[in-house]
Amino acid sequence: MHPILRFLLIACGFASLLAACETAPVSGRSQVMLVSENEEREMGLQAYREVLSKEPLSRDAQTNAMVEKVGRRIANAAEHPPQELWRAPRFRWEFKTVDKNEPNAFCLPGGKVVVYTGLLPITKTETGMAVVIAHEVAHALARHGAERMSDQMVASVGTAAAAVALSATVSGRSRTYLPAMMAAVGAGATVGYILPMSRAQESEADRIGLVLMAMAGYDPREAVALWERMRAASSGKRQAEWLSTHPADTTRIADIKRWLPEALQYYKPR
């Protein structure tokens, strides 16, 4: 390749990366996004359909109603944020409970939330469930799945090639990156591998989630008790995939306590 052409490709790559910069909600952290919101939502919908085709849905009406209720309250909070926190999402929310003894949950892009019944002994209460769902919705609000995929694209193909990838068709990239999208949001076990969030993203989802649940009328202080129960449940056992890349329990609980004053500003009990 001619040196000038190579230089132009690299320059275009850096320009594309700069144009793709976004800011995460609440934390204000800078992000690079090489996946558009439309692409992200399409992949989320495809992944959601794949999950539902493989996993047994709960037939427990009470559990389903509780997950739906909590999810709708969190979703309503996500759609009506104080202006300075985030841009209201354009999601078509759905909430499903999978009947599986596994402590797992995820929110696919576009607002498709899946909760496994294996979490119920740990969440215990409606507010405990709100901690989990708010954390997962926070991942979707902050577009962590798309960000993780973007990181992988840049790392694997380089800046210039990543810029070229921006012009790929939605349908073509959806087929190529669907497994990665599923893995990036925690549904990777259904396709055989995990593309974990970074610890920074997990901590960010904790912080955003506290604000979300507080806005939804759930006491964010319950998050401390929830993660203490999570720590007790995982003690001495093989760690669940959902928890494998999360911050250490002691660090997470300390961070949550530090962020509680921020979240409590938005808390109005119902």
| Alpha helices by DSSP H, 85-143 | 120-123, 126-141
The single residue of 136, 147, 202, 222 carrying the catalytic annotation is: 136
Q: Which tokens go with 240?
A: 């669940």
Q: Where are the alpha helices (DSSP H) in 20-125?
A: 37-54, 61-79, 120-123
Closest CA to 5 of 143, 160, 185: 160
Instruction: Give catalytic status of residue 136 as yes or no.
Output: yes
Q: End-to-end CA distance of the chain: give it in Å, rounded.
A: 65
Q: Which two tokens stand for residue 74?
A: 């969190």
Rounded distance between C-alpha atoms, residue 138 and residue 124, angstroms: 21
Query: What is the C-alpha to C-alpha distance for residues 78 and 128, in angstroms, rounded to an integer?
Result: 18
Look-up of token digits 């934390």: 27
Q: What is the dihedral of CA 116, 118, 119, 124, to 10 degrees?
A: 120
Catalytic residues: 136
